[in-house]
Amino acid sequence: MTINFKLLVDEIARIHRHFHTRAAKAVNISLTLRNWFIGGYIREYELKGSDRAAYGERLLEKLADRLARNGVARSDERELRRYRHFYLAYPQIRETLSPEFAALLVHAPKRTAIRETVSPDSLLSGKAMLDRFSFSHFAELLQLEESLQRAFYEVECYRGNWSVRELRHQIASLYYERSGLSRNKTKLAKLAHAKAELSDPAHAIRDPYIFDFLEIKAKEALSETALEESLLNRLQDFLLELGRGFCFEARQKRIVIGGEHFFVDLVFYHRLLRCHILLELKNDSFRHEHLGQLNTYVNWFRIHEMAPGDNPPIGILLCTKKNHALVEYALAGMNNRLFVSKYQMKLPKKEEIRRFLEGQIKQKTPAMHRRAVK
């Protein structure tokens, strides 16, 4: 076969995509099996542990504490409870185990011990689900208490190759309930799948379970673009160079709200204002949902991170697009005029940050464009 330069590029790109997909799937399967096995061992211990009476109802609490000391990621009490539920809800995963993996179950319960937990409504095999679903998919499905409802979303998610976000959206939109009430279920299904967000192997890189499993730092996993990464790097240095009391605390700070994971771009503590400052950078023009998201983070910090003597946290939203910047300060309910005045004096002025951002964008965009052309 004759090969030219275009074919060379196409073939290398094709082989890259092929192995990238395989690698993402392999990591997903390994993580899912890891969590299923953990649940199985917990269940076995609950049934047959020689010293289980010594721990009783505090078993998961004690186990979480010991595992944390041993550096086991994602092993808090809530997650251990989820793993146990996962094992009991999906015993068909046992079918997928190779002899190598099956050997790890030598001390686990026999089939007869878990037969009562098998969902009679599940229509998909363990292999089908393991090939298509990440553990984040399973985590969403496990929140559904009715086995028939769970089976419905399993099939629809598999059929539509939904992303985790799409599965969450369909559950929140009561697709199952609407389907039960609908006279034309086929039409409803077409509408539900028409604009669905499809799962992509690249999504695995941004899955919180995945990067915890692989011990990847959040900022390594969640950078959206080279421009945003560059701006955040420079912005962090810029604010620290201004002095005025900024103390750097975290980058891509992960917070958990109702079981969902969110990330705050930059977190500072201001020693003069005695409060946290949360900074969010959006590679986009300003939209009201950006401010709503930041306000959610500010309220979370106010409830969970404020120490005695602290003032309420401050949110700073930076939006950049086409060489301009819009800066909005969310005061999060701080009504005290004296404090607001103090806040305005100690924080950088809007014009100051605007000039900085515009300068950085002008410097970075042409350079990045030249690299892309090469």
Q: Is the pLDDT of residue 330 over 70?
A: no
Judged against a pLDDT cut of 60, whether residue 43 lies above it is answered with yes
pLDDT at 184: 87
**Pairwise CA distance, residues 122 & 125, whole Å:** 8
Q: What pLDDT is stored for residue 191 in this prediction?
A: 87
Q: Let me know: does 81 contact 55? Beta carbons within 8 Å.
A: no
Higher pLDDT, 201 or 112: 201
User: What ranges do the domains of the chain cover?
Assistant: 5-206, 218-373
Q: Indicate if the pLDDT at residue 367 is higher than 50.
A: no
Average the pLDDT over each of 225-234, 236-245, 323-332 and give the range with the smallest value. Answer: 323-332
Query: Which tops the pLDDT comparison, 370 or 365?
Result: 365
- CATH number of the 218-373 domain: 3.40.1350
Q: Residue 40: is its pLDDT beyond 90? A: yes
Q: Which of 355, 270, 283 is nearest to 313 (CA)?
A: 270
**Is 5's pLDDT higher than 80?**
yes
Q: What is the DSSP string of 160-193?
A: HTB-HHHHHHHHHTTHHHHHHH-S-HHHHHHHHH
What long-range pairs does 66-75 form, CB within 8 A, spacing at least 24? 73/212, 73/213, 73/215, 74/35, 74/209, 74/212, 74/213, 75/38
Q: What angle do CA 270, 272, 273 make, to 5 degrees?
A: 70
Q: Which pLDDT band, with edges at 50, 70 and 90, does 220 fall under? A: low
Q: What is the average pLDDT score of the chain?
A: 82
Q: How confident is the model at residue 79 (pLDDT cuts 50, 70, 90)?
A: very high
Residue 85, pLDDT > 50, answer: yes
Read off the pLDDT of each residue in 33-51 and give the average, rounded to a whole number: 93
284: pLDDT strictly greater than 80? no
Residue 170: pLDDT band with limits 50, 70, 90? very high
What is the band of 118 on the pLDDT scale with cuts at 50, 70, 90?
A: very low
Has residue 188 got a pLDDT over 70? yes
Predicted confidence (pLDDT) at residue 185 exceeds the cutoff of 90 = no
Query: What pLDDT is stored for residue 273 in this prediction?
Result: 86
> How many whole angstroms from its chain centre is CA 308?
30
Q: Is the pLDDT of residue 63 over 70?
A: yes
Q: Which of 83-87, 109-113, 267-271, 361-365 has the lowest mean pLDDT?
A: 109-113
Residue 246's beta-bridge partner residues?
270
Quickly count: other Cβ atoms within 10 Å of residue 125's Cβ: 13
- DSSP category for residue 90: -
pTM: 0.71
Looking at residue 205, its pLDDT comes to 61
Query: Which pair of tokens denotes residue 363?
Result: 């410097």
pLDDT at residue 179 tops 70: yes
Q: Span 13-42, mean pLDDT?
A: 92
